[in-house]
Structure 1
Amino acid sequence: MSKQAGRVTTVLLVLAAAAFLVFAWWVGNMTHSARLAAAEFMDNLAAEKTAGLSGSLVELAENLQEFGMPLYSVGKVRLTWDLKARAEIILEQGGRKAGFALSLERRGNRWQPKDAPPSQVSVTAGQNQPLLALTVGDAALTKPLEPMGHDKLLTLLEEDKRAEWLHLGWQDLAEYFTVFFQGKEVAPVVGMDALNLYGREGRVAAAVLTQEYVPDVIRVNINTTGFGGIHHAQVEIACSGRWQVVEAVTGRSLDLEPGSVTLRAQGDFLLMGTETFQHRLIFTPLEAQGKLRLPSVIRAQGVPSYPGTIEVANMGGNLVIVNEVPLEEYLCYVLPGEMPESFGPQALAVQAVVARTYALGNLYASQWRATSAHVVDSVLSQVYNNSGTTAAARAAVESTRGQYLARDGKPALVRYFSTSSGYTASYHEVWGEGTGGNEAFPGTPKPWLMSKAQFPGGEEYSEENYADFIHNPPPGCYDEASPWFRWHFTVPADQLQEIIADNLKSVFVVNEKTVERQNADGKFETVEEIPDDPVGQLLELIPARRGEGGVLMWVDIVGSNGTWRVKREYYIRHVLRPQGSAQRPITLVRHDGSTLNNYSLLPSAHVIWETQGDEALEKVTFYGGGFGHGVGMSQYGVRELARQGWSLEEILAHYFPGTQLTALD
């Protein structure tokens, strides 16, 4: 190698070394500044300075604040080829460390945090008690929650994240509130009374069941006289023996002499005579077989007496009553309101199993948890204590004690009704899926609640022959002894169009998604309001869609002012109800020849109609079969099958195929 070449090589090596040193200095400087930026970001989160953050960084900030800022440090920092950086953030809680990668990017001449892995705060079961858990990507930290004592859940407001407890009263719930039993999550149910509570900064974050929840007690909201609603202006409670009242939270108690007391709301308080209470009151008879009466509530039996305890709470200035009663005792007071004693012991036993199954499903769903109950005492659940109880009802409940129908290890969804047309209806063709504006109709099929023939031979439903089926039902239909097996009525067209116009509006108010109007393109779409005269002159009624068994799912109403479509069995029954006036009564004739004027609802949606009129519609005659929604078990059908000697198991398998007869532990 020449001296000149050697000098060139030396120069190049020096330049390369210098470049490397410059690059190393630059990398070190960039890494150091990225580390400082990451540390500053974490310092700001610790000081709750979160202005200007977005996306995953906001989520991280909120979750770190919710968890409580752990110790933190910045670990390794790496630059990426696209001049971005990833800083390892090391979190430490209770001696345990976990790390996640914070992404940074250059903005101008400064590093700024860009994003972080997904993060959340939750609770986990833990070995001895629930733990508050923070996860950031794959990193996870936990710390103990604060014990809040042993309690009973009375009321649950899930949307408001609040709950009422027997001893703690009203408390806020953490967003991640969870109930555990033996390390597994379980759904909270009002009435659970073996709960250890754990909190975070004054909110209840977790509850642990100390023993398995057994649904052997049910909580019932009591309606006013006439079943006008569950909010009472005042409540009178009476007892013929010694009794006691205890105030929740404070535990303050008063022993009461035989007689009655009257309760009223005053602001947020309860008044009982000269006594003032801040929390709900719980009334209990002190003598064996003692019962409480509600003179302020009138039922078919007169003044009802209630087993169990009665609670009265002030909810928004109205009084709400809860009767907490053993499940089996509750059923003794349900059966007389749901099935006549004359149907016989076997039919009553079947009804007891189905009523118990229905009650258990409602109990776990706790639809009335916002008013401290599982069910109400009206047809919105099952009619309870309208006419007291009977020896026959008690015998039916006792003979089936604890038995219910299960599906997939849980109480099966069951439905029952009075009378079938000769076919039951499929659940998904009567009810939708979801609630409110998100409801989808038809719903999801339930294999054990599908349409089924209710006569020997069980011919499949035929839409082409449906009119003949209604006019000439096959022999041996299980429901033919019911007065509602067949019925008919005639309505003048001008009166029917008035009925439809009025009822379209009322149905729309309840569920606007069930009423649609045909547009200029011939398509049906929902509307924002119903005009004053939606129908005009009634021109035609069209059974636009039927489900299996013939139940109406859609009916189209064609008028001079437009064409309307009403969806779902109940709303169709409401829109076409034969409710005339005193001056123009509509007479409904039943299967047994009996008549009823101005009936408040179309008896069932298993219905056809025939029209009269040459140039214009003059009158419409409706012919139908059955009474009720038509899904599940027909009570008149049960009576006949029991009369024919079918066993309890055979009858239940007929109406609810694919369910299992099970007993409560």
Structure 2
Amino acid sequence: MHTSGWFHGKKLKLITMAAVFAALVAVCVLLYFVMFADRKDKGITRAEAAKLIAGACVTDDEMAAFNTYDAASGWYTGYVQYAVNNGYISNDNPNGYVTEKDFKRFAAKCGSDAEAVGISLTGKDNAVIKKNDFVNAYIRLLKYMPNGNSVTSITTTVVGTPSNVGNASEWQAYTDDGIMHFAGIALDYAIDRSATLIVRGKEILCVQKTEDKTTLRNAWVIYGNGNTLSVFVGGVKREYKVSKLSQNIDNVMADINLEQGRVTAVNTKTDTISGKVLSADKDYIEIEGYGKVPLDDRYRIYRTYGELSLKDYGALIVGYDLSNFIVADGKICGAAITKPLNADNVRVLLKTDNFASLYHARAELTCSSAFTIVYGSREDSSERHEAGDIINADASSVYLTNGRMKVVPDNGGKVILKSVSRAYGNPEYDGTIEISSEEGGLVIINEVPIEQYLKRVVPSEMPVSYGTEALKVQAVCARSYVYRELDNNNYVSLGAHLDDSTLYQVYNNVTDSAASNEAIEQTEGEILTYNDEPVQTYYYSTSCGVTTDVSLWGSEPDDYPYFVSQAVGSEPVNMDLTVEDNFRAFIKNTKYKDYDRRSELYRWELNVTAKELSDSFNSKLAGRIAAYPDKILVRSDSGDYIKKSISTVGTINNITVEKRVAGGAVVSVIVAGSNATVRISGENNIRYMFGVADVPLVTAEGNFRNMSNLPSAFCIFEPADNGAGFKITGGGYGHGIGMSQNAVYMMVNSAMSYSDVLEFFYPGTKLKTAE
């Protein structure tokens, strides 16, 4: 580590040989004129124009479908058909150039004309519009196109296409901004040049312009010696010929200047800092001992152990010191991840009372032992306190004026958080407590050894009365879940891996117990893996007798083969539960030999009047549309479902299930009201919108329970028996993916071992001791 100041870069001299260089320049000039000097603006084809137009109009799914074309029909087929069918162009000849007649039609469709977008027309319908003029006009017209705000312009360096990258897929481009797709676009001429691209996400719609000079910012130099420079950039290895380097270099970050594809300068960056990552976002990384260090606008992350690879933002794991950070001009230019994660601790974000919020107005705490408070970005300030001393902090506290504060108990001590209440009172925590002041309030994080963390998770998630064997199942699932969440980085900007609520795993809502501790100790370090990777072991309270797969959440089941839809019992369900009549018959049958059949919410029923359901539904509607505008759509006069803000559907007259996924869970419902009709998509939205907090549902045991959400999306909708409202009949409690906790109790009592149960719910996985 260099501590005397942050490095500003070192330029390596390129030793020239005059005669050789002159010859090379001559060759380059000749090639330039052959390849580029005659690239006159002859116009833009209708295929190219159609791709631009469709890119600003269609949905993401339609865009993806256009790129799965039949090779025989051509990459442009879907784009051209869309542009013609929707009146943007009149001619479906993809190879013909866009004419003034075409352009006037396009502009008129957008409610504009040529003069308004700065194009001078000759008045001849067959005159060809120059490509540059069309593109400039297109940019001005984006605001009038349905998804024009999804189209942007970026300037990047193209470093590879299938022409120079052997394993590149068809139409795959490697750029300084990541891997992109360029169906139908001429791109080879732009390699190693600065290119201004019009893009929709990772799809290149058009090359607007190129320039001969460019800089590969923060590239990784694998080695440089003699006349060869081997560089890892944009996710691929490239070799460049250079005039003789003044010295050999290897495994270093550098800015590399190119002109007409030739290296003209190499500016290495060798100064580094390191330390535990405490938090990170798009503007900074907070490093223990350094505080929040700003990021260069071309910040890059490379994994340098094993096979060299370019990683994304999520590769940085908070709470661990795995990287060297390369710095220049007071900013982090990149990170070199030099070693794999060997997990031992987890960082848990602690919520307020009733797990209501991430942000606390204040923090009051003490410790069961003597303790130290460390604060300040360089940890140069500390205080010693005796056991029982009360510490208060809020946003104005001196402890938080220069970074975060950390509370460190002496060995064996616990931090007691007196400003928070849990089921057993004020919670106490092993490990350390960190507090930072964020925009929303104070954020409190408990960093704790994973095995200690589990001692407050397992009894919070499963009744200890279920016994050691069942608790062993829960322990492995909870541990596996943690290892997976370490990589997910959902709370990286706040400095945590997960929180302590049902959104992740309930932590420290009850005290530890002898039975759960024994289960944790007997499975110490064991996790479930698939292809040697930890499995994110989803679980829930109760099944309705079947499970579902990740299609419930819109994911591809083939990507998660260990989540399957199957019967949770000793006999199969031999019918397709995505069919409405089949699921209706299934959910009304309580005679299956299901492991969950004795659970209270194995079956449930909600009887509600039309007014009660409508009032509850309408009270939630506007807020839910604002939160999920793509998931709650309103039927237009033409019959299409569109994004629209409304606050009521009036009185609900009818509820129709539009789609069920594997196992029968509902993912799309049409609700027809007296004032409007809406389509509700998504398991969580359906459970939320049809829950009626003031009307109790009847459980399988005949008990009454008030629940603000439906217990699950495994349900049917029918008119009430008295014809005055609706009856919602369902089964299970939770999402239904993975393991049913209540089923585990019955399974271990029927002589199944914890490993048998895990294999049943997560087929194809393997038990492994975490490294």
Residue 200 of structure 1 corresponds to 328
Change beyond 3 A, Cα 1:290–1:527: same
Residue 456 of structure 1: aligned partner: 570
* 1:177 matches 2:300: yes
CA distance in 2, matches of 1:645, 1:566: 43
Scaled by the length of structure 2, the TM-score of the pair is 0.67
SS in structure 1 of the partner of residue 617 of structure 2: helix
1:500/1:126 CA distance change after superposition, 3 Å: same
- What do the CA deviations read for 1:473-528 (whole angstroms, capped 9, x no partner)? 343101112100011121011221222222222321221111112233333x2323
Q: Conserved in 1, the CA contact under 8 Å of 2:364 and 2:390? A: yes
- Is 1:650–2:756 an aligned residue pair? yes
The alignment covers a number of residue pairs equal to 550
Question: Which of 386, 391, 398 matches 1:261?
Answer: 391
State the distance in 2 between where 1:315 and 1:590 align: 43
Q: Which amino acid aligns with 2:252?
A: P
Q: Which moved more, 1:539-548 or 1:472-481?
A: 472-481
* Contact 1:404-1:663 at 8 Å conserved across structures: yes
C-alpha displacement at 1:643, in angstroms? Answer: 1.0
Query: Are 1:589 and 2:698 matched, yes or no?
Result: yes
CA distance in 2, matches of 1:391, 1:302: 20
| Structure 1 stretch displaced more, 457-466 or 290-299 | 457-466
1:254 and 1:85, CA in 2 relative to 1: closer, same or farther beyond 3 A?
farther
| Cα separation, 2, equivalents of 1:609 and 1:316 | 43
Structure 1 match to 2:380 = 251
Percentage of pairs with the same residue:
30
Tell me how far apart the structure 1 counterparts of residues 393 and 682 of structure 2 sit (CA, whole Å).
42
Q: Give the distance between the partners of 2:318 and 2:549, measured in 1 at CA.
A: 31
Distance 1:565 1:353, change over 3 A: same
Structure-to-structure mapping, 1:115-514, within 5 angstroms: 115-116=211-212, 120-124=216-220, 126=222, 130-134=252-256, 136=258, 139=262, 142-157=266-281, 159-160=282-283, 162-174=284-296, 175-182=298-305, 184-185=308-309, 187-209=315-337, 211-247=339-375, 248-258=377-387, 259-266=389-396, 270-272=397-399, 277-286=401-410, 288-316=411-439, 318-428=441-551, 430-432=552-554, 446-462=560-576, 463=579, 464-514=581-631
Report the Cα offset of residue 188 of structure 1.
Answer: 1.1
Distance change >3 Å, CA 352–CA 125, structure 1 → 2: farther
Q: Give the drift of 1:578.
A: 2.4
Listed as ranges, the gaps of 5+ residues in structure 2 are 1-7, 40-190, 195-208, 224-249
Taking the aligned partners of 1:316 and 1:367, their CA distance within structure 2 comes to 18
Give the superposition deviation at 1:228: 2.0
User: In structure 1, what is the Cα distance between the partners aligned to 2:559 and 2:612?
Assistant: 37
Amino acid at match of 1:121: R
- 1:285 is matched by which residue type in structure 2? P
Residue pair 1:432, 1:444 contacting (<8 A) in 2 also: no
In structure 1, C-alpha distance between the alignment counterparts of 2:595 and 2:484, rounded to whole Å:
28
Q: What 5-or-longer segments of structure 1 have no aligned partner?
A: 1-64, 87-99, 104-112, 434-441, 581-585
* Other-structure match for 1:3: none
Q: Look up the equivalent residue of 1:505 and give its one-letter code.
A: A
Contact 2:9 2:268 in 1 (8 A): no
Q: Deviations over 1:225-276 (max 9, x none)?
A: 221212112111201321111124142222112212111212xxx335xxx7
Question: How has the CA–CA distance of structure 1 residues 150 and 82 changed in structure 2, closer, same or farther, with 3 Å as cutoff?
Answer: closer
C-alpha contact (below 8 Å) 2:721/2:727 kept by paired residues: no
Contact 1:417/1:635, CA 8 A, preserved across alignment: yes
Q: 1:150 corresponds to which letter in structure 2?
A: S
Q: Which residue of 2 aligns with 1:55?
A: none
**Of residues 765, 768, 771 in structure 2, which corresponds to 1:659?**
765
Give the Cα–Cα distance (whole angstroms) in 2 for the partners of residues 239 and 371 of structure 1: 24
Equivalent pair of 1:123/1:206 in contact (CA under 8 Å):
no
SS in 2 for 1:574: helix
d(CA) in 1 for partners of 2:425 and 2:367?
16
CA distance in 2, matches of 1:511, 1:413: 25
| Paired residues of 1:494 and 1:618 also in contact (CA < 8 A) | no
Determine the C-alpha separation between the residues in 1 that align with 2:630 and 2:739: 28
Query: CA offset at residue 610 of structure 1?
Result: 2.4
8 Å Cα contact 2:193-2:214 kept in structure 1:
no
Tell me: CA distance 1:236–1:130, structure 2 relative to 1, closer, same or farther (3 Å). farther
2:729 corresponds to which letter in structure 1? Y
Which of the numbers 524, 536, 551 marks the counterpart of 2:650? 536
Q: Deviations over 1:29-61 (max 9, x none)?
A: xxxxxxxxxxxxxxxxxxxxxxxxxxxxxxxxx
Give me the whole-angstrom Cα distance separating, in 1, the residues matched to 2:327 and 2:355. Answer: 39
Determine the structure 2 residue equivalent to 1:94: none
Structure-2 separation of matches of 1:480 and 1:101: 65
Q: Which amino acid aligns with 1:265?
A: A
| Contact 1:354–1:405, Cα closer than 8 Å, also in 2 | yes
Q: Following the alignment from structure 2 to structure 1, what is the Cα–Cα distance between the partners of residues 573 and 192?
A: 67
Partners of 2:764 and 2:343 in 1: CA distance: 23
CA deviation string 1:176-228 (max 9, x = no partner): 33153426346211112254332122112233455532121101111112212
1:566 counterpart = 2:701: no
Cα-to-partner distance string for 1:429-457 (whole Å, 9 max, x where unaligned): x2135xxxxxxxx8875222121111222
AA partner of residue 617 (structure 2): I
Give the conservation status (yes or no) of the 8 Å contact 1:285–1:309.
yes
Structure 1 range deviating more: 349-358 or 252-261 = 252-261
Distance in 1, matches of 2:357 and 2:11, equals 45
Is contact 1:347-1:639 (8 Å) kept? yes
Q: State how far apart, in whole Å, the 2-side matches of 1:193 and 1:82 are.
A: 49
Distance in 1, Cα, partners of 2:12 & 2:624: 53
> Residue 561 of structure 1: CA displacement?
1.7
**Secondary structure of 1:498's partner?**
helix
Matched, 1:630 2:736: yes
What is the distance in 2 between the residues matched to 1:85 and 1:511?
51
Question: Partner residue of 1:57?
Answer: none
2:299/2:332 contact within 8 Å kept:
no
Larger radius of gyration: 1
Please give the alpha-carbon distance, in whole angstroms, between the structure 2 residues aligned to 1:82 and 1:240. 76
Q: Output one character per residue of 1:400-447: Cα deviation in whole Å (capped at 9) or x when no partner.
A: 11111112332123211001111111212x2135xxxxxxxx887522
Q: Tell me which amino acid in the other structure corresponds to 2:390.
A: S
Distance 1:212 1:445, change over 3 A: closer
> Is the alpha carbon distance of 1:613 and 1:298 closer, same or farther for their aligned partners in structure 2, counting shifts above 3 Å?
closer
Change (3 A) 1:537 1:214: same
Report how far residue 67 of structure 1 moved: 9.2
Among 712, 716, 719, the alignment partner of 1:608 is 716
Aligned residue identity for 2:509: N
Question: Offset of 1:537 from its aligned partner?
Answer: 2.7
Closer, same or farther in 2 for the Cα pair 1:377/1:540, shift >3 Å? Answer: same
Provide the C-alpha distance between the structure 2 equivalents of 1:505 and 1:644, rounded to a whole number of angstroms: 49
1:654 and 1:317, CA in 2 relative to 1: closer, same or farther beyond 3 A? Answer: closer
Task: Quote the RMSD (CA, aligned, Å).
Answer: 2.9
Rounded to whole Å, the distance in 1 between the matches of 2:721 and 2:598 is 35
